[in-house]
A = this chain, B = another copy of it.
Amino acid sequence: MASVGGDNARGAELLRATQAEVAEGIDALFDQLLAVPADPRGPLYEAMRYAAIAGGKRLRPLLVRAAGDLFHVDRALTLRVGAAVEAMHVYSLIHDDLPCMDDDDMRRGKPTTHKAFGEATAVLAGDSLHALAFEWLCDPATSADPFVRAELCCELARAAGPAGMAGGQMMDLAAETSDFDLPTVTRLQQLKTGALIAFSVEAGAILARIPAEGRRPLRGYARDIGLAFQIADDIMDVEGDEALAGKALHKDEAAGKATFVTLMGLDRARDQATLLVEQAIAHLGGFGDEAALLRAIARYVVERDR
């Protein structure tokens, strides 16, 4: 147990260092890729920069990096793919915050994009980041191998579309007026947040040309941490501190929405999250020390806001 505790402490230190490095790299890349043009599109780029730079925990780019490290993928490439997946994530946050959707005023501790730039610019900033994610992925700078570029685009499109993130958000809107059971809420979250998390993990393996069969343990890992992440989010919505979270909480409760917490209760939800983290780590049994970062991330997703 002392050795496991020591491993955990080393993992947490590795996570802290890598997260800082990835966050810095993503900001630098966004700064370069989103340079503001000297024409009437200026506010569009300013809005994208406002939403994308210096925000969030960069969990998805961190997962691309951690999965790429398993196969010794060039870190400049995992960072580039990380920027694409983060652009996709930021676009979804901008659109989800709109008045016609979740109607949120605060995000990451500052006014949401439509509050700062107006609704029209926010819609277009989201649309632009959505397209840019694909533009960056399929650029030869991401991979000299066109098969890798096409595969990345295809998987990202699936994760973002109606069978992924957008479909999950649609179910989430329906949740306010329906009584969803546990399997339906699980499915909702697998689409809404799970699909993009799974893409992030698989992308590292795609960059290394690992075929679909070889990615199975990573898919299992991603599925489990995706659900654990969402359960932790639901717990935070009930127990969290708004100042720390940087956004409005207790929204599910107010909307009368079924969540993992309302369906399972706080204690069982906490146990379930812990179990999922253990299960996620068990999927990595075939890997050695090179998976230390993925293991640390799994522990982190349920502890991130305590």
Contact = CB atoms under 8 A, between A and B. Distances in A.
Interface of A: 39-41, 43-45, 48, 95, 98, 100-101, 118-121, 123-124, 126-128, 130-132, 134-135, 137-139, 146-147, 149-151, 153-154, 156-158, 160-162, 164, 166-167, 169-171, 173-175, 178, 180, 184, 187-188
Contacts of A174: 40, 43
B40 A132 contact: no
Find the residue from A118, A119, A157, A171 having the highest chain B CB count within 10 A.
Answer: A157
B154 A135 contact: yes
A175 B127 CA distance: 20
Please state the number of chain copies in the assembly: 2
Given A40-B188, A95-B123, A135-B157, 9 more contacts: A40-B171, A40-B180, A43-B174, A44-B166, A98-B123, A127-B166, A130-B130, A139-B154, A146-B151
Contacts of A121: 170, 173
Contacts of A130: 127, 130-131
B41 A162 contact: yes
A131 B43 contact: no
Nearest to A130: B130
B41 A167 contact: yes
B100 A123 contact: yes
A60 to B, nearest CB: 16
Contacts of A160: 127, 131
Contacts of A128: 161-162, 166-167
Nearest to A172: B40
A43 B162 CA distance: 11
A146 B135 contact: no
Given A45-B162, A100-B120, A123-B95, A184 B135 contact: no
A147 B43 CA distance: 35
A259 to B, nearest CB: 15
Nearest to A158: B135
Contact of A157 (B95, B138, B146): B138
A157 B132 contact: yes
Contacts of A173: 120-121, 124
Contact of A146 (B131, B150, B166): B150
Contacts of A120: 100-101, 173
A170 B135 contact: no
A95 B153 contact: no
Find the residue from A120, A171, A187 having the highest chain B CB count within 10 A.
Answer: A120
B124 A170 contact: yes
